[in-house]
A and B are shown apart, each in its own frame.
Chain A
Amino acid sequence: MSTVTVEEISTKERKIIDDKFVIYLAGGLIGLFLIIFMLLPVLNILRLSITQYDEVAHEFIGKLTLNNFANYFSKPAIVQSLYHSLWIAVWSMLITTVLAFFFAYGLTRTTIKWKKALYYIAMTPLIAPSLLQAMALISLFGSNGLITAGLFNVEWNIYGPLGIIISEVLYCFPHAMVILYTTLSAVDSRLDEAAASLGASGVTTFFKVTIPTARYGIFSAAALVFNLAITDFGNPIIIGRGYRVLSTEIYLQVIGMQRFDLGTTIAVVLLVPSVIAFLLNYYFTKKSHSMISGQAKPQLPPSRPLKKWSFTIYTWMIAVILLSVVVVIVVKSFVRVWMYNWTLTFSHYQFKIPGGVGVLWTSLWISVVVGFLGATLTIVNGYVIEKKKPFFAQPLYLFSVIPAAIPGLVMGLGYILIFNTKFLNFDNIFYGRAAIVIINVVVCNFTLGTLSSITNMKNIDKSMDEAATSLGADTTRTFLQVIFPLSRVSFMSNLIYYFMRSMVTISAVIFLVSPNVHLAAISVINLEKDGQEGPSAAMATLIILVVVVVLGIISLLFRKKGFKLAAENQV
């Protein structure tokens, strides 16, 4: 006779229901969160872009219309900003991908020295707001720049499309480099060796083997750079000088002109290329991952001297350029008047701006909250999607990857347009407060966080989950005592990623700062736009300092605990 009593069966069933309930609740809440804070603002922008606008009263009036788009395409200067954006993005994409490819090649396929240092230097653009590049270029190559006016005394200057493209290349470099680095170190390099031993020359091997095997990584890096360059706001507004691109146009129309109709319409126009670039990037990343071999990496044979030296020179040239961006800004923050008075001073560090130096603390605590909230949500999300697969796993996954396709500026505009209305202002505790900034940054960076945590979950063997369950642990316990401890590294990587994004982002939050919340990165751009270069450089220096110190503390703490952080996963 069975020893299982009726009561035991019902407990077991109840447990299963409870487990399901917990998963439904967790997944459902994340889904709801994404619907409210990602889908609604974006859909609202789409709706407003086809809503009639009263230009005198500056408000939308109910009727649906296509006038806004007709209006948009009838203004040559604004339509031109679309061509400008595409032009900038295409050139930035081509140059960055090529430069980053050879850099990554040097790090993975040659035996040059100091690879680790080169890798970290290549990452420096990630720790500063995306206008640092433009600021440094102007200081060196502006009408009164150190090199143009100081050294050569020439009239030429860097403002306009050339300046934007160079800034974007410098800003996007690490993003492309990381993808190519991963691709090149994952693709089996023994294919190269095989080709070489069959008699192929170095150049033939490179073009017939190396490039084709890495092609999906190259395409995915290119698509990502295109997306970053077309959506960037900080660099073009500082160095563009009259050369208008879509992102700056949205800002000028909304903030300068109160034209929310044109703002939303241009936002929709910007959505098209950025969504396409995202889809391509996504497709190629998947393809690229399928080519990664699980084989152990063979030892690299020593590179020939010519190859070794040319790659040493090449990689260090790029490293010096990337470093000099930071150095110029730090120096500038201590110089009384750039180009006119080179005496050193601390006076730029006395900030006469709303919030004073306190903006740095606001940015810091907001970024810490963003880090924990983002890392927690994405790890739970990854667990639900990858391990538990409830019936709504597919739509949840879809919602989780959409944010990467939405430019930060568009999301920010969506937020101010929807969260200060009578229905969705959450009793005034959201709009104009820190919460709107925190949630915006979490949502804008949700994709990478979720994808990396799904990858992490894939690496945790299914048997772990099963073993825990058969030992009687329920979902909650399995997650807390088995899955989470195994995901510590992934959790920390996501936390760091979120923290850094939150410290330096401009485009996502520029519409969201308010008398209650002043952010450091936005202060940099406001000071710079206002012509106060010294204080602006000083604030940028402080942001870099805070990020470096926090990263240093985290890595020290972790080394103590006995495991290293995978730097490659941070990006």
Chain B
Amino acid sequence: MKKRLLFLVPVFLLLFPMFLLAGGKQEAGGGEVVLYTAFEEDETADYLQLVKKELPDLNVKWVRYSTGEVAAKLLAEKENPQADLVWGTAVTALARLKDLFEPYKPAGYDKLPAQFKDPKGYWTAVDMYVAAFAVNKDRIAKKGIDMPKSWTDLTKPEYKNEVIMPNPASSGTGYLQVSSILLWKGIKEGKEDGWEFLKKLHKNIVEYTNSGSAPAKIASKGEVAVGCSFGYRVAKQIAAGYPVAMVFPAEGSGYELEANSLIKGAKHKAAAKKFLDWAISKSAMEAYSKYKIMVTMPGIKSKSEIPLPDPKDVKLFPMDFDYTSKHKTEIVEKWRSLFQDKTKPE
């Protein structure tokens, strides 16, 4: 009888214990925490080196998604959340998803200025990032076009098929660019001018990318002249040796906060809170400051190894996060109906 059952050994052996094995593995690490982040992969890898040093018993598992992808993932998993917290993701995306989060005020919450945190603790911001163009100097010289100075310049005919921009549905950078243009053209007063402007811009766009850093990288490689991206990424491309110039749009750069939230139903809540406490600590902020134009903790200056302009020298567009997060669905839907669902302009 024993021998007869041997026949089933491969089936049993491989099928069923595999589930246990796969499951058992994760139980082992006591201080495990799972997070989704929209920080860039290279900066995240650096921050996590520090986490390893300062929170040695925490085993951090992470995935980097673009902002919209974080939101999609959270919504898809809301019946059975897989991640414990969100780290470094656009506030305009998080503020809309409040019912997926649990309010938590991390240690040090009080030290942050009021405009950088949700009063109930649904989100706590750590840094700010600013829209900027990456302009490939080689390419504009070759094509004989001028260095663009503003969004308005980018709508000129000579930039046809020379501009690349992130998709506001999936990218936080894309949304802050689109929403700043709409605010500038008076969407709050019910004006349609912003959409007309975007239509003009659309004629010159080659492609809408998933993430906000991709346009800078694609422009760096000389595939297009102008990549609409954000400050740090452009600076980084310059430092990497690409023939790129950083341009802040003359109309004012849109900006956005990146924040953290605790996910409702987190499976490792204690570890997640520990991480969130660390994430707004002084040493974390010092670490972010190497990559950011500005961090939210007062008194810490940007320490980027790559020269970044002082935030005071950049003309920031006065954003209205209340408005832009409340109307995000509406704006993105309209943007999609105009640009995404339509074929590419020829």
Contact = CB atoms under 8 A, between A and B. Distances in A.
A339 B222 CA distance: 9
Contact of A260 (B1, B76, B220): B76
A156 interface: no
Given A77-B343, A255-B69, A354-B64, A515 B83 contact: yes
A338 B218 CA distance: 12
A532 B68 CA distance: 20
A258 B76 contact: yes
B240 A337 contact: yes
Interface in B23-60: 23, 25-26, 34-36, 41-42, 44-46
B114 interface: no
A521 to B, nearest CB: 16
A515 B34 contact: yes
Interface string A431-452: 1111100100000000000000
A356 B1 CA distance: 49
A395 interface: no
B77 interface: yes
Interface string A461-483: 00000000000001111011000
Q: How large is the interface on A (under 10, 10 to 19, 20 to 34, 35 or more residues)?
A: 35 or more
Interface stretch (B179-187, B207-215, B245-253): B207-215
B166 to A, nearest CB: 11
Nearest to A436: B22
Interface stretch (A1-9, A296-304, A420-428, A497-505): A420-428
B243 interface: yes
Interface string B243-266: 100000000000000000000000
B248 to A, nearest CB: 21
A477 B7 CA distance: 8
B211 A530 contact: yes
Task: Point out which of B69, B72, B78 has the most chain A C-beta atoms below 10 A from its C-beta.
Answer: B72
Interface in B309-346: 329, 336, 340-344
Contacts of A474: 3-4
Interface in A329-375: 336-341, 352-354, 356, 369, 372-373
B49 to A, nearest CB: 10
Interface stretch (A25-33, A183-191, A215-223, A544-552): A25-33
B8 A25 contact: yes
Nearest to B78: A59
A351 B77 CA distance: 28
Given A340-B242, A369-B18, A372-B14, A257 B68 contact: yes
Given A56-B329, A58-B75, A515-B83, A144 B222 contact: yes
A407 B72 CA distance: 22
A257 B336 CA distance: 10
A564 interface: no
A372 B242 CA distance: 47
A515 B7 contact: no
9 contacts: A241-B206, A256-B66, A352-B46, A373-B18, A380-B10, A429-B20, A430-B19, A516-B61, A531-B213
Given A255-B170, A530-B211, 8 more contacts: A29-B8, A59-B78, A142-B223, A337-B240, A354-B64, A369-B18, A376-B11, A421-B79
